[in-house]
Each structure stands twice: as structure tokens, then as C-alpha cells.
Structure 1
Amino acid sequence: MSAPVTTFTSSVLPPRERGIELGERFRAEIAATVASYRRLWVTRAGGEFDVDLWAERAWDTITRVAPVHADEIAGIAEGAGRPVEEIAAVNARTELLVAANPTGQSECSSVVSAPPGGSPFAVQTWDWYDAMSDGWFHWRYEQPDGRVVETVTEYGMLGKIGVNGYGVGVMLNMLHHANDAARVAEGTIGYPVHLLSRRIMDEATSFDDAVRIVQAPTSASTSLTVVDRSGTGATFELFPGGPGRLDPADGLLVRTNHFVSPEGEAGCLASTISDSSTTRRDKLLAAFGGTPPATPADVVAAMTDHEPEGEVGGICCHPDRAMDPVLWHRTLATVAIDVASSTLDVRADGPCGRREHPAAAATAGV
């Protein structure tokens, strides 16, 4: 059985007050998230890394490019009793990871399906560091215009995977591009990609609105995959010098962690990390045979795929315990987006429903 999911519904409040409410409610969890990321950034750097300097840079960027979200982040910091720069760093955690070590980590798999005669939907495995296994929750909040937003996100972070009341859904998959290092060398941070996702959830009433939003210049390569109720969708491959775009083929879009668009392919660094991204995408495309799956359950079944323990390429990801435990990596959540009803189906752990690797579970008699 998967672990239970923490769900929190915010009161209808202005951004700063909503942040204060969240910070007060999850004070301990936010402190743990900050500590986990500080440890991760330093470990990924493999030496000295000035977390506080980059946190200040993150806060400076957020106050300039996203003042409304800066108000909410300031509220979270106040409610949690933390320096605002720490909460800014959590919201720019991808950008700080690139600054610490741009070689990165292979992770998430996403599928968008628009089946003939059916409602469009999307499914994502969120693969991340094992240390953050309990560092996330399912958040519902209402905007002043009455739209309800649902997002799976980390404690102190404004958004990640989600859907809004207009039926616009968004997913994230990390990418790695040669141009990332140049932005690190400049000592600058672009628009934090998690805040771009949150902005889509807050502002977009259609796919076309999302197209406008994702043009913001970023410094950490990431793909944002967007789909709306009409079934219109695409992946936007964000990188310094981008973005690129990947459109569905016959109602099916499969997204992992390498560049597919012509704009980004030349600088793609995924193969320097591992072959996992191409392996996972090929497996999913083969499983569907070019036909959009009919239901989220069909996607989850295809995603219940494992490699032998310690090897790469499993869609349902479990830790390689030969690694430093700080760097253990697994599927933390499986999320299905129903754009017709503007809701999320959120399950802790991978599609197989286990935290441990199946081989380890069998050995333990689980």
C-alpha cells in the first residue's frame, strides 16, 4: 500500500495571508525541507557552495519577476519563522541545483493522452530525491475569481504539478542543456521554473495563455507540459536560448528528461547522465503503440516498469542503495490530471505502490 497523502485546503485569502497560513500550519515540514535542500545542494556541489549567496540571488529575481508570488513567499517565511531567502531558495531549488552541479539527475516521466471520443488527461511520475519522500503535499487553494487550483508541491514551494479551475493542467520534467552552465558562470538566476508552473495555474484560462507565460527567460532547463480541456497540449522545453516545443502525435505526447525539439537537441546533456531518459520514453511509446491510452489506469499500468535494482531505465524508480544516501532517488508520487473536472488523483510512491524496490520487498517477505 502507498503511504497516505497529506492534503491541505487553504482559506480564501490574499497571497501574503495565504502564505502565512501555510507557513504556520507546516512550520516543522518547511524547516525539514530547507535543511534537506541545503544538504543536497552542498552534496551535489561536491565541495564548497555558497547556499546563502544563491538564496539571496533567488529572492532578488523573484521580487523582480514575480512580485505577487514574492508576497506569498514572504508570508510563508513569516508564518514558518524562517528567513525569506530560505523560502525563495526552495522555490528556486532547481536553479540552485544547476548552480551547484549542472550535470544533474535523470528523473520524471509524463504522458498526455487525448483519446478519440474521450476526455484528455495526463499522468506523471514525480521522481526525486528519497530524502524528500515526506516533504510534499497536495494543496488546494481558491483564487479571487473563484477558480480552485490543485497542485502537488513541496513544503514552502508555491507549485509544481497541477490543474486550475479552467481545466489547464501542467507537469514538469527536468532537462539539462549546455547553456545552463553559462548562466551559472554569470551568477544569475532566471525565472524559477516552479514559479512559472504556478503562474500558469494562477493565470491561464487556456493553452494559449500558457504559451504566452512560458516565454519568460529561464536559467535552469526544464520542460513544462501543458494540456487544456480541449485536448490542446504541448511540451515547452525551456533552456537559456530557448524555448523549444514538442507537440503531440495523433493525440499522444510522452515526455521524459531529454530534449526532443530541434531547438534544444544540439545542447542536450541527458546522455552524459545516463540512458534512462531515452529508455523510459521508448518503453512508453512502445507500450502505447502510437495510440493514445484510453484511461489514466492504462498509463499507470505501463509505468509499472522496473529495472533490476541498481540499474537505470525503470519508469517506476527505486533507490540505488550503492549510492550516497543523500543522493538516493525514487518515484515519490504518481499524479493523474483530469482536465475535464479540474482535479488531481494523487498517490504516494511509484505506480507499483511500494517505496522499496520490489526485489528488496520480496527478499524481506513483504
Structure 2
Amino acid sequence: MPAPVTFTSSVLEPYDRGAELGEHFRAEIAATVAAYRRLFAARAGSRTFDVDLWAGRAWESILDLAPLHAEEIAGIAAGAGRPVHEIAAINARTELLVAANPTGISECSSVVSLPEGRAPFAVQTWDWYHAMSDGWFHWRIPHPDGRVVETVTEFGMLGKIGVNGYGVGVMLNMLHHAHDAARVAEGTIGYPVHLLSRRILDEAQSFDDAWKIAQAPTSASTSLTVLDAEGTAATIELFPGGPGRLDPSDGLLVRTNHFVSPEGEAGCLAATLGTGSATRRAKLEQAFAAGPPASPEQVVTAMTDHDLTEDGAGAICAHPDRDTDPVLWHRTLATVALDVAGSRLDVRPDGPCGHRDS
């Protein structure tokens, strides 16, 4: 099993940091751009979807809503020798996938544990398209005041799952809401959800800070599950017209890919993808019905689950269904544990079982 690639930035200014990353991972970023172009086309199917048009819209939105991150994206593009709209598309890939086709895949399971007398922690499976199996890395980003942001992300993307030097951690689970299609029809892109995650990692000193940051207008539904070193945690369910909020119950918070907050559940479209999200959440809540887990290892053990429901869904540790289009195969690409008290993350390639194939 290959170890994940870890890269530590050596410069602090956004443009220079991006340029350094782009130059270092030039080949990997080119491969990511190509993989997503294939994926956008496969997701669109018979629909007409102009990738470059939507990538340009993404860049305009980033310039308007996230100017500091626009500098970093421009640096990545320069370092990698790519047009800037291609790097914008990677950072807004969730939004572009929704624009290509509002339906998607049921992916990712997250657990936050707030055990009494112990430090809070969280574990997530990152389930995504098989084509991106080698398209991600562990990025360490120093800040001028000595803080370090650690994130597991894709080549060319500014952030995803991570933890910062203030002891704030973020996990992501994709959602699907009826309001997403309306934003697509308008031809607009909101604040890209992966850039929101990076902004929280860059700026938030507490959950309350993250909640304020997450009020930005979005166009693709996603849940950001945030916890801090003081033991405050909740899921922020982002959707056009949101957000909603879901708090832990008895020291446990489990998230998959359906809306649970009162604000979002009326428009939830998860059932159109099958029973997988509800099944995975029920399995993990049942595994810890007696109380929140005491260690990340307990969570990983519970996540080593391959049992499928009748509709072929519901496995927490996911492997490709090889009877489908290979471009659309999906599986668990990584398992990430967040130690917010220590401002550290641990990432293991592949699913909790440690294997790429079933």
C-alpha cells in the first residue's frame, strides 16, 4: 500500500504558494484536469454541457467571492502551465458536476466523537470516483503566525478534509437538494464548497467562526461537519437557501449523504440515489448506540463494513461496481482521522479495510 504524498509549502504568500505547488505537481495537476473533463462528460451523458463555459463562470465567482484564494489558484495555474479556468474548475468540481447532472453518487461517511473525559476526534471515509485514486495528497500549509493547516485534497484543489492550528477540523459529505437545479438553470455558481472548507481552515479559531464563514451563498449542496478542540461540533448543511444545522446527540454525530436538519430535509433528493446514505448512517449509529467511541480505531473497525442492501448500496467501505461504466466507478479513496486537540490528521489510502479491490 503506497503512503500518501505529503507536501509542505515553503512560501507564505498565496500566489507564490500556489505557484510552488503548481510547479511541483505539474504532471499530477494535468492528470486531474484530464480526469475531470472525462468525468464531466460522463456525468452529463446526452445533456449538453460546456465545460469551459462553466469553468469560466467558476473563475468569475471565485474572483468575486474569494479573492485571496483566487490569487492562490492563479499561482497554481502559472506554476503548472495551465489556463486559470482549468484550475478554477477543479476547485469548483462539485458545482460543475451538479451543473452537468444534478444527480450523483452516494458517498462518504463521517463520525464525530465527543467522549466524556477524552479529547474530541473525528473519522471520515472519503468516497469518490475511482479515476481519482491517485489524484490526491496531504498538504501542510504554514501561515505567517506559525499556524499550520493540514488538508487532504486533490491536486490543484485548495482544500477538503482538514484541521488547523487553532484546533478546528472540517469534514465534507456531498448532499443533493431540490434547490440545486434552480441555481444551475440560472447559470450561476456560488461560493465553491471546497474553498469554503479551506477558508474555515485558514481563518476559524472556533466552531462559531466556522458557522459565520459558512453563511456564504452556495450553489451545490454539501455538509461541512466542523468540530473544535473545546468539544463544540455540528454539521452545517449547505444548500441554496440554507444553511441548516445538525448538532451531536449524546456525544455522537454521524453524517452520510442525506439532509437531516429541519431546514434542508424537505428538499432532500438522497432517496433518488437509493437507500445507501440512510443505511450507512443507521449502521454507524447502531455501532455506537452504547456511547461515543473512545478512539479513532474503534470507528475504523466499525467502518470496515462491506454489506450491501438489495439495491447494491449501503457499504461503508466502498469498492467499485465493475458492471458499470469505468469512468463512473467509485470507491473509498482514503480514510482520514482528525485529532483537533493536537491539530493533526492521519490519512490512510483506500478504505478502512485497507484494500482497493473488494
The question of a shared fold, defined as TM-score above 0.5 by the shorter chain, is answered with: yes
Is the contact made by 2:222 and 2:237 (CA closer than 8 Å) also made in structure 1? yes
Report the 3-state secondary structure (helix = DSSP H, G, I; strand = E; otherwise coil) of the residue aligned with 1:77.
helix
Superposed CA deviations along residues 296-342 of structure 1, whole A, max 9, x for unmatched, are 00000000000259921000000000100000000000000000110
1:64 CA displacement: 0.3
Task: Read off the aligned partner of 1:78 and give its amino acid letter.
Answer: A
Residue pair 1:111, 1:122 contacting (<8 A) in 2 also: yes
Distance in 2 of aligned mates of 1:341 and 1:125: 20
> Is 1:348 paired with 2:346?
no
> What CA distance in whole angstroms lies between the structure 2 residues aligned with 1:325 and 1:298?
33
Q: Is the 8 A contact 1:252 1:290 kept in 2?
A: no
1-structure distance, mates of 2:177, 2:143? 35
* 2:27 matched residue in structure 1: 28
> For the Cα contact (< 8 Å) 1:17–1:72, is it kept in 2?
yes
1:1-366 equivalences in 2 (<5 Å): 2-47=1-46, 48-307=48-307, 311-357=312-358
CA distance in 2, matches of 1:28, 1:3: 18
Q: Which amino acid aligns with 1:99?
A: A
Secondary structure at the aligned position of 1:128 is classed as strand
Are 1:200 and 1:213, in contact at CA under 8 Å, matched by a contact in 2? yes
Superimposed CA distance per residue, residues 149-183 of structure 1 (whole angstroms, 9 cap, x where no aligned partner): 00000000000000000000000000000000000
Name the SS for the 1:286 alignment partner.
helix
Moved runs in structure 1, 4+ residues, more than 6 A? none
Task: Determine the C-alpha separation between the residues in 1 that align with 2:214 and 2:129.
Answer: 26
Larger mean Cα displacement after TM superposition, 283-292 or 224-233: 283-292
Deviation at 1:290, TM superposition (A): 4.9
CA distance in structure 1 between the partners assigned to 2:288 and 2:278 by the alignment:
16
The answer as to whether partners of 2:308 and 2:314 remain within 8 angstroms in 1 is no
CA distance in 2, matches of 1:205, 1:264: 26
Please report how far the alpha carbon of residue 40 of structure 1 lies from its aligned counterpart in structure 2 after TM superposition.
0.3
Q: Are 2:113 and 2:120, in contact at CA under 8 Å, matched by a contact in 1? A: yes
Pairwise CA distance, 1:3: 2.8
Contact 1:167/1:341 (<8 A) preserved: yes
Q: Deviations over 1:53-73 (max 9, x none)?
A: 000000000000000000000
Give, in whole Å, the separation in 1 of the partners of 2:11 and 2:116. Answer: 38
2:347 and 2:259 map into 1 onto residues whose CA distance is: 27
Name the stretch that deviates more: 165-174 or 42-51: 42-51
Shift of 1:250: 1.2
Query: Separation in 2 of the partners of 1:4 and 1:352?
Result: 15
Q: Distance in 2 between matches of 1:238 and 1:290?
A: 30
Structure 1 pair 96–290 and aligned structure 2 pair: CA distance change class (3 A): farther
Shift in Å, 1:291 = 1.1
What amino acid maps onto 1:355 in structure 2?
R
Counterpart of 2:351, as a letter, is G
Residue identity matched to 2:236: F
Cα distance in 2 between the residues matched to 1:332 and 1:306? 15
Contact 1:331 1:349 in 2 (8 A): yes
CA distance in 1, matches of 2:274, 2:35: 25
Any gaps of 5 or more consecutive residues in structure 1?
Answer: 358-366
CA displacement at 1:214 relative to structure 2: 0.4
Q: Structure 1: how far apart are the matches of 2:145 and 2:58? A: 29
* Structure 2 spans left out of the alignment, 5+ residues: none
2: distance between equivalents of 1:308 and 1:262?
A: 28
SS of structure 2 residue aligned to 1:262: coil
Please give the alpha-carbon distance, in whole angstroms, between the structure 1 residues aligned to 2:43 and 2:204.
Answer: 35
Identity of counterpart residues, as a percentage?
Answer: 77
- How far apart are the structure 1 equivalents of 2:177 and 2:3? 36
C-alpha contact (below 8 Å) 1:3/1:349 kept by paired residues: no
What's the offset of the Cα at 1:49?
1.1
The one-letter amino acid of 2:24's match is R
Say if 2:22 and 2:76, in contact at 8 Å, map to a contact too: yes
Residue pair 1:226, 1:234 contacting (<8 A) in 2 also: yes
Contact map agreement 2:258 2:270 (CA 8 A) in 1:
yes
SS for the counterpart of 2:267 is coil
Letter in 1 for 2:156: G
Contact 2:124 2:171 in 1 (8 A): yes
